[in-house]
Amino acid sequence: MNAIELTVLAAIWGASFLFMRVGAPEFGPVPLIALRVGIAALMLLPVLLQPQARKDIRQRWWPLLVVGVTNSAFPFCLFAYSTLFVNAGLDSVLNATTPLWGALIAFVWLGTRLTADQILGMALGMLGVLVLVWEQIASGQATQITAVCAVLLATLSYGFAGHYSKRNLAGIAAPVTTWASQFFSMLILLPAAIIWWPQHVVSTTAWLAVLGLGAMCTGLAYILYFRLIAHAGASYAMAVTFLIPVFGVAWGHLFLGEAITLQMIAGCVVILLGTALATGKLQLIRRFGFA
């Protein structure tokens, strides 16, 4: 049962790149994401039924706001921007670099010692990114290079948010952190979303994409994620990182006709191998006594 839930969660989160690819051109990145986090906050509103949840939000509103910005508002907008120029499959693969940034931030910010496997993993991860985007770099396509940089900045933000949350939100239930982060993200993005609201009529397809993003890929996905953590543990739930690119690429190919190239497959494999090493799920060097 846990394996089924993990697969369903990966399929849902993989679809988020598809929905952003569909919705961003019509709504624009900021209005699209404001709607996404707003819908998610409404779905997760029952969290506030617990008195302790309301107390935690009142007392820890500032770190919750910081996590909202760095784990939702900022990276979501960067991903939405990137989908204007690169395909959903590429975005989903680059999303897998998040644990690499997390390991690097732990080293630079927290002074965590890196093992030889982690260093190798980060090097492989960066190599995978180069393999994945080499054509764009070689051709000098400025908009696509900027889009790729936006994604990497988004995953860096995710990596920061994870460590910041551990240091400043210890003891607060994960559902509370999730609701507050979506709510504060909505408040922060709302003024810009109003200013940049599309002047044209938005298609039904784009509205359905927004609904899929907010209700399914954010609200429902987090509910499934926390259920999986409760039943199988955080380490098991984090394995979803390795499955998301598979579904992101598949959905982009099936519904948007995006090509699946050997370059994309090679880049994905190298990035995931690096991620497995950087997160300790795979060890290659330890047995030689270097770590």
pLDDT of 8: 93
Bigger pLDDT: 94 or 241? 94
Cβ(274)–Cβ(121) under 8 Å?
yes
Can you state the angle between helices 51-59 and 174-195, rounded to 10 degrees?
60
Query: Using one digit for the tens of pLDDT, what is the confidence trace for 249-291?
Result: 999 999 999 999 898 899 999 999 888 888 777 777 655 554 4
Q: Is the pLDDT of residue 74 over 60?
A: yes
Can you state the angle between helices 204-211 and 29-43, rounded to 10 degrees?
50
Q: Is the pLDDT of residue 236 over 70?
A: yes
User: What is the mean pLDDT of the segment spanning 138-161?
Assistant: 88
**What does pLDDT average to over the chain?**
90
Environment class of 282 (CB within 10 Å of its CB; exposed 0-12, middle 13-18, buried 19+): middle
The neighbour count for residue 254, using CB atoms within 10 Å, is: 10
The share of the chain scoring above pLDDT 90, in percent, equals: 60
The share of the chain scoring above pLDDT 70, in percent, equals: 96
Angle subtended at Cα 40 by Cα 34 and Cα 42, rounded to the nearest 5 degrees:
105
Phi-psi bin for 140: left (phi > 0), alpha (psi -120 to 50), beta? left
> Closest Cα to residue 265, out of 284, 248, 240?
248
* CA 70 – CA 159 distance, rounded (Å): 9
Q: Is the pLDDT of residue 232 over 80?
A: no
* CA 79 – CA 88 distance, rounded (Å): 10
Give me the number of domains the chain comprises: 1
pLDDT of 285: 62
**Residue 112 φ/ψ, nearest 5 degrees:** -70, 130
Query: Could you tell me the pLDDT band of residue 73, with boundaries at 50, 70 and 90?
Result: very high
pLDDT of 133: 82
pLDDT of 56: 96
Range of the domain at 110: 2-288
pLDDT of 286: 57
Helix, strand, or coil (residue 186): helix
pLDDT of 291: 46
* CA 145 – CA 165 distance, rounded (Å): 30
* CA 76 – CA 68 distance, rounded (Å): 11
